[in-house]
A and B are shown apart, each in its own frame.
Chain A
Amino acid sequence: MTNKIGLTLLLIPAFALAHHGYAEFDQQTKVVLQGTVTEFHYTNPHCIVDFEVKNEKGQIQNWQGEMSNPLHLKGWTRTSLEAGDTITASGYRAKSGAFYLWITGLKSSKGLELKTNGENLIPR
């Protein structure tokens, strides 16, 4: 049925499955980042977390992390991640060099964990 839902973006979160591929990401290299949440967008078709990461020189980098949609983040809410939370996010970086991460794993200082075993990240 996925083929029938392509344009019904806003009411149909499964649109996230189809609206873009992942060729934009370097899937050969897994990246792990530690940072501080500045904003969390509990939105369709992707939940997005903005977070600051200090590089080795102590400079702040503003990263954006893309996760699944709310329908697939079982148990999550709009306030699951809040400004000031520290997180460890793993995933794949955009090939463009932008500070952009496709997040496949996440742990927060409040104990929130994104698990890919289906416990809270529902398999696609």
Chain B
Amino acid sequence: MGFSSTLGLMSPLVSPLTSMSGTVLLWVLLVPVLAAQTLNGARQDTALEPGIPVTDPLVKAKCGTCHPADEHGNMDRISWVRTTPEGWQEAIKKMILEKRVELTPVEARSMVQYLSSSHGLAPEEAKPVMYYPERRVHDEIGVANDYPLAACAKCHAAARLLSWRRSADEWKRLGEEHFAQYKVARNETAMAAVRNAAPLHTPEWTDWSARSHASNLTGRWLVTAHLPGHGRYFGELQVERGATPDEFNTRATLHSINDGSTVIRIGQMLLFSGYAWRGRSHGVAPSNSSTHPDDPGHDAREVLWISPDQTTGEGRWFWGQYQEFGFDVVLRRASPGITLLAVDRLSLKVGAQASSLRVMGENLPTDVNAGEVSVGPGITVRRVISSTSREIVAEVEVSATAVPGKRDITLRGAVLRSALAVYDRVDYVKVTPESSMAAFGDQTYARGYQQFEAIGYQRVPDGKPHTADDLELGPMDASWSMQVFYAVDASGNDKIGNVSPAGLLTPAPRSPGGNFDIWVIATAVNERNQNGRPLAGKGYVVVTIPAYSFDGRRYVRDLDRWIEEGTW
């Protein structure tokens, strides 16, 4: 997992890096952005590509010595790059650590706020790279074949690269620095590709920088969420104005669709660039009494992308040693009308009779009748068992001739798209994530876990498994086991760890002193293949040692950086 920097300088809550004022100087950042190697040197190509002037007095005061401004207000290097809040935070950290720039946390936060607005990404540019700040497991599969950035992807997430927009000259300088500093083979094709993929000036940025305005996220939002291993949730989020115009206080109430439990989370967040939600939250009673690492009330960081019209949002609330736990969250503003949020099952089998279906939502009619609820072709709503303003329970049956595929649910003009799937067989079980990482613990580092889910699929219509048109049926009941690569039997499994009945991999408390590749295997309880054997799927995990040392350097997981031995 390629993790971006923490939100220490930005978070209004727990702020691990701001408390490291003495030790942050030890950071070693890999991206030589704003390296300011040309102190007081005039840019040679400013006439070729216009910069973005800097107007913030604090940025000019703190950065102007090494990044002089021209007559247009363009500051050396700064005016020819744009990036995310995390990118600017990283750049400022680098200046603090390497150039001894002195900033208070408040000043640093203000600078990140300004720069990520004036020299940030348009929402449309940020969305494809959100998996990076959201700390998602993300395989860069396909980069080698579909994208000429494979040379960069050998070391970086593609999203790290594309989180930065630079002038052609700035890309050239970055490449030259890499060629020199990291002995990377010169690759002009890759350089041309990245220049084209992430230029400084884009129509999206031109449009957004012209119409971006102060955002007001206050009010009531509806939430749907998924926490792997715990299932799906629905509920609401109250957002109130905080101490500053860009700061907000939040209170989320989530109800588990699986078991009916309730999670209440309160938090604070900052909004950057009008759409980039960065915050922290924690659970309150009753869920925070648990010490389980995957507890839904665990302290979490929040990274969300708010749509430009401020009506929807999506992102992740995450925690853990590798940020391996987290809610996948979708927000939408509450409205006076009927809103369909979720259903309690994600699939129905062809020919199913008298199946109950719970539909959760907002402002649902309490006088609804069976004819008003549509679950799509081949599914008949026989009767409405109960209805409240938040939930309708209906009895449905699926025709024996129903065509497999996704179905929308509609009710009096409200639509829940692709709410569930109709299927006639389960062809295979996919274990998610397909590849991942966990870690042994030691006296310094806590263990890194990994939660798995067994997802059923029907292969329609091309008949091939693992293709984009496969029909996802949702989590399957499964038993879990693990298999260590190269091992002839399971006798050594205990020294690696165990997998719980809920699919949570817990590495052994003590590191056996090496990395281990293992399969985590899900065997479906109710689904069998053509030969009558239970369907099974497996996920590939590397269980790593707690910390890496190599060639005089040590990887510090908390910092997501390699540092010189003895300096941390």
| B485 near A4: Cβ-Cβ < 8 Å | no
Query: Is the C-beta of B142 less than 8 angstroms from some C-beta in chain A?
Result: yes
Query: Is the C-beta of A91 less than 8 angstroms from some C-beta in chain B?
Result: no
Q: Which of B244-252, B331-339, B434-442 contacts A (4 or more CB under 8 A)?
A: B434-442
- Complex Cα spacing A6 to B487, Å: 24
| B517 near A74: Cβ-Cβ < 8 Å | no
- Complex Cα spacing A83 to B542, Å: 25
Query: Is the C-beta of A12 less than 8 angstroms from some C-beta in chain B?
Result: yes
Residues of B within 8 A of A95 (CB): 486
Q: Write the nearest CB–CB distance from A29 to chain B, whole angstroms.
A: 16
Residues of B within 8 A of A112 (CB): none
Q: Which of B150, B467, B485 contacts A71 (CB 8 A)?
A: B150
- Complex Cα spacing A77 to B141, Å: 9
Q: Which of B139, B143, B156, B555 contacts A10 (CB 8 A)?
A: B139
| A10 near B540: Cβ-Cβ < 8 Å | no
Q: Which of A10, A64, A75 contacts B2 (CB 8 A)?
A: A10
User: What 1/0 mask marks residues of chain A from 34 to 51 whose CB sits below 8 Å from any chain B CB?
Assistant: 000000011111101000
User: What 1/0 mask marks residues of chain B from 520 to 551 whose CB sits below 8 Å from any chain A CB?
Assistant: 00000000000000000010101010001011
Residues of A within 8 A of B48 (CB): none
Interface SS of chain B:
loop
Q: Write the nearest CB–CB distance from B443 to chain A, whole angstroms.
A: 19
Q: Write the nearest CB–CB distance from A23 to chain B, whole angstroms.
A: 11
Query: Is the C-beta of B144 less than 8 angstroms from some C-beta in chain A?
Result: yes
Q: Which of A9, A71, A74 contacts B153 (CB 8 A)?
A: A71
Query: Is the C-beta of B140 less than 8 angstroms from some C-beta in chain A?
Result: yes
| A43 near B488: Cβ-Cβ < 8 Å | no
Q: Which of B486, B540, B553 contacts A96 (CB 8 A)?
A: B486
Query: Is the C-beta of B157 less than 8 angstroms from some C-beta in chain A?
Result: yes
User: What 1/0 mask marks residues of chain B from 101 to 140 whose CB sits below 8 Å from any chain A CB?
Assistant: 0000000000000000000000000000000000001111
- Complex Cα spacing A69 to B189, Å: 22
| A13 near B542: Cβ-Cβ < 8 Å | no
Given known A-B contacts A7-B548, A14-B154, A97-B488, A83 and B435 have beta carbons under 8 A apart: no
Residues of B within 8 A of A14 (CB): 154-155
| A19 near B544: Cβ-Cβ < 8 Å | yes
| B1 near A78: Cβ-Cβ < 8 Å | no
Given known A-B contacts A19-B515, A71-B144, A45 and B435 have beta carbons under 8 A apart: yes
Query: Is the C-beta of B412 less than 8 angstroms from some C-beta in chain A?
Result: no
Q: Which residue of B lies closest to A75 (CB)?
A: B145
Q: Which of B1, B153, B544, B553 contacts A13 (CB 8 A)?
A: B153
| B487 near A77: Cβ-Cβ < 8 Å | no
| A98 near B144: Cβ-Cβ < 8 Å | no
Residues of B within 8 A of A13 (CB): 140, 153-154
Query: Is the C-beta of B557 less than 8 angstroms from some C-beta in chain A?
Result: yes
- Complex Cα spacing A77 to B433, Å: 18
Q: Write the nearest CB–CB distance from A42 to chain B, whole angstroms.
A: 6
Q: Which residue of B lies closest to A13 (CB)?
A: B140
Query: Is the C-beta of A20 less than 8 angstroms from some C-beta in chain B?
Result: yes
Q: Write the nearest CB–CB distance from A10 to chain B, whole angstroms.
A: 5
- Complex Cα spacing A78 to B139, Å: 12
Most buried by B among A9, A64, A94: A9
> For chain A residues 61-103, which have a beta carbon within 8 Å of chain B?
64, 66, 70-79, 82-83, 94-98, 100
Query: Is the C-beta of A3 less than 8 angstroms from some C-beta in chain B?
Result: yes
Q: Which residue of A lies closest to B428 (CB)?
A: A39
Q: Write the nearest CB–CB distance from B328 to chain A, whole angstroms.
A: 17
Residues of A within 8 A of B143 (CB): 70-71
**A11-B2, A13-B140 provided; 8 other pairs, C-beta below 8 A?**
A1-B183, A10-B436, A11-B1, A11-B138, A42-B141, A44-B141, A70-B140, A98-B486
Please list 8 pairs of residues, one from A and one from B, whose beta carbons are closer than 8 Å in the complex, sorted by A's number.
A9-B435, A19-B542, A45-B435, A72-B144, A78-B467, A83-B465, A96-B487, A98-B486
